[in-house]
């Protein structure tokens, strides 16, 4: 008979994780969460209602109106993830969440197209006096000669900040036939050149630009970056756009420059203090302004909701969440991603071989992959190491806390040299008795197939399947047959077997992949029959 769909009462009965939605989100967000969660709603702006509703929530979804601080986090006994359906996190206390072991995620790329398009719109509107011309026409005035504008074609635009939005703006303005220069100390000149952008210092950009668009994060270093001194260097024909963050352009200096005719016009979407309705900048006819609309498109809101819904699903299943700001900032390089599940498996194999929590662990990453940020692989290793050790679900947030609680010192070792493999990931640790355990893996072929290539100094080449066993013994004839015979009697089928030894007659290692879990008593029989130094089973299910 077909299974009946769960009704709301059934979902509660089977204790589905609770997702609390504290603000209005798109219907697609709820649909993306799927049927695996109990969806509840509250008014996040109502403090008392939020504190009452958060008590047994596993996930909290907010936008900008809900303040998630230490008080809210303390009231949330089961909370695992806070998801902000947008880019900013001004309303979420990330530090308090991290201390509470709560993952914080946002949707960092959801609005980049919308923000880039608005910056271009403001530039065009300012260059062609769209706002005052529109106001004059509505007032019954036809003033064509007064609002003669400027073309973008064959002008120089200076992009300040060549991040994701800055790059999109550069691409779009290049299509207008503009010469694009940019200032960004964190971007290599070669990368900029590949995009057809000439990288310059800020002073050069100020002198050469006919148009300027700001796309920087707001930090102590960038606040007031474009001030009186900088605006004294620009052309009087400059059109300046800031659709990034308020305060990067000094508003008092900008007002003076516009009022005195030292720059031609400005397009603004952001202000130092928001909401802003009384800035003297709004009195100027050569300013076109919008109320922080960079992310205010239906498409951006939809993308944000879908992105955080996916993140919540990953977070509540204990998986890596690339958009988690307090775990792995930014987007994980595509070259690194395939190594994440492999590293988790290596961590689980390491724990299975060790039989205890190590005192010290090195996560060694070698080869071409080290050109990218591989910090996430350290987290993946820790998640694998503790997955089969602790009762609670291990995540990329609490794995480092579990290591600290257990006195496990962890070190990430990066080496671009990898003589035998294109990339190699090794977990190497020291146990309480001073002995060491190591396991290495790599990815091979176009399909990036996972392979175990070393265990405790023995070279291997075996797939890390669901059921593995590792037998260390004194090398002598008949041992392979002994292992096969005992497993056969127990009804355990061998999928793959490898024997590795360092010297004839010395220690040897048999690595097995089998179709089903090896019973504990069967493993004991094998260990006894082989007089094995160690016999360890690892189950990656």
d(CA 190, CA 195): 9
d(CA 323, CA 347): 23
Say which of 49, 154, 221, 274 is annotated catalytic.
274
Residue 422 φ/ψ region, left for φ over 0, alpha for ψ in the -120 to 50 degree band, beta for the rest: alpha
CA distances from 382 to 213, 350, 360, 375, 540 (A): 43, 10, 12, 11, 15
CB–CB of 47/65 below 8 Å? no
Annotated active-site residue 9? The verdict is no
Residues sharing a CB contact under 8 Å with residue 67, sequence separation 6 or more, in sequence order? 44, 47, 91
Annotated active-site residue 274? The verdict is yes
Residues sharing a CB contact under 8 Å with residue 411, sequence separation 6 or more, in sequence order? 360, 361, 362, 363
395 burial (CB, 10 Å; 0-12 / 13-18 / 19+) is buried
Say which of 84, 292, 467, 536 is annotated catalytic.
292
Which pair of structure tokens corresponds to residue 403? 């290591």
d(CA 472, CA 439): 14
Cis peptide before 275 (omega within 30 of 0): yes
Which pair of structure tokens corresponds to residue 334? 């595509």
Q: Where are the alpha helices (DSSP H) in 128-215?
A: 130-138, 164-174, 189-194, 202-208
d(CA 62, CA 76): 15
Strand extents, DSSP E, 29-173: 38-41, 59-62, 81-84, 103-105, 156-160
- Using DSSP, state whether 175 is helix, strand or coil: coil
Say which of 63, 215, 245, 348 is annotated catalytic.
245
Catalytic residue positions, numbered:
245, 274, 292
């Amino acid at each position: 008979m077909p299974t009946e769909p769960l009704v709301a009462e059934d979902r509660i009965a089977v204790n589905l994780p609770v997702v609390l939605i504290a603000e209005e989100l798109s219907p697609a967000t709820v649909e993306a969460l799927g049927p695996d969660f109990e969806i509840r709603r509250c008014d996040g702006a109502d403090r008392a209602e939020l504190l009452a509703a958060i008590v047994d929530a596993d996930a909290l979804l907010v936008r900008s109106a809900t303040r998630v601080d230490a008080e809210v986090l303390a009231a949330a006994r089961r909370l695992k993830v806070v998801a902000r359906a947008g880019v900013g996190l001004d309303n979420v206390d990330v530090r308090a969440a991290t201390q509470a072991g709560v993952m914080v995620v946002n949707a960092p790329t959801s609005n980049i197209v919308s923000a880039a398009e608005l910056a271009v719109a403001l530039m065009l509107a300012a260059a062609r006096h769209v706002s005052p011309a529109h106001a004059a026409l509505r007032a019954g005035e036809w003033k064509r000669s007064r609002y003669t504008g400027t073309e973008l074609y064959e002008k120089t635009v200076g992009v300040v900040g060549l991040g994701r939005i800055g790059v999109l703006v550069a691409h779009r303005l290049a299509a207008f036939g503009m010469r694009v220069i940019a200032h960004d100390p964190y971007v290599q000149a070669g990368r900029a050149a590949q995009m057809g952008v000439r990288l310059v210092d800020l002073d050069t950009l100020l002198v050469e630009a006919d148009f300027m668009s700001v796309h920087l994060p707001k930090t102590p270093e960038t606040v007031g970056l474009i001030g009186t001194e900088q605006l004294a260097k620009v052309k009087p024909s400059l059109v300046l756009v800031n659709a990034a963050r308020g305060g990067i352009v000094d508003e008092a200096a900008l007002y003076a420059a516009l009022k005195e005719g030292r720059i031609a016009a400005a397009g603004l979407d952001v202000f130092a203090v928001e909401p802003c309705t009384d800035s003297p900048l709004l009195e100027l006819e050569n300013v076109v302004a919008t109320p922080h609309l960079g992310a205010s498109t239906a498409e951006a809101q939809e993308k944000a909701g879908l992105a955080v819904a996916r993140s919540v699903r990953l977070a509540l299943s204990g998986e890596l969440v690339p958009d988690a700001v307090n775990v792995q900032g930014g987007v994980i390089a595509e070259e690194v991603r395939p190594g994440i599940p492999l590293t988790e498996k290596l961590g689980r194999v390491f724990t299975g071989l060790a039989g205890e929590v190590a005192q010290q662990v090195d996560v060694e990453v070698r080869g071409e992959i080290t050109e990218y940020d591989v910090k996430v692989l350290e987290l993946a290793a820790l998640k694998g190491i503790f997955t089969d050790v602790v009762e609670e679900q291990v995540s990329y947030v609490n794995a480092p806390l579990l290591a600290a609680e257990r006195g496990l010192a962890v070190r990430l070792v990066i080496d671009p040299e990898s003589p035998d493999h294109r990339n190699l990931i090794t977990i190497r640790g020291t146990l309480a008795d001073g002995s060491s355990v190591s396991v290495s893996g790599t990815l091979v072929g176009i399909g990036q197939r996972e392979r175990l290539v070393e265990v405790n100094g023995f070279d291997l080449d075996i797939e890390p399947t669901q059921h593995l066993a590792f037998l260390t013994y004194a090398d002598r004839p008949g041992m392979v047959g002994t292992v096969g015979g005992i497993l056969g009697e127990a009804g355990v089928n061998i999928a793959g077997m490898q024997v590795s030894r360092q010297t004839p007659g010395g220690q040897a290692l048999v690595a097995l992949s089998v179709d089903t879990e090896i019973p504990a008593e069967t493993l004991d029989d094998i260990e006894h029959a082989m007089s094995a130094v160690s016999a360890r089973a690892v189950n990656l299910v």
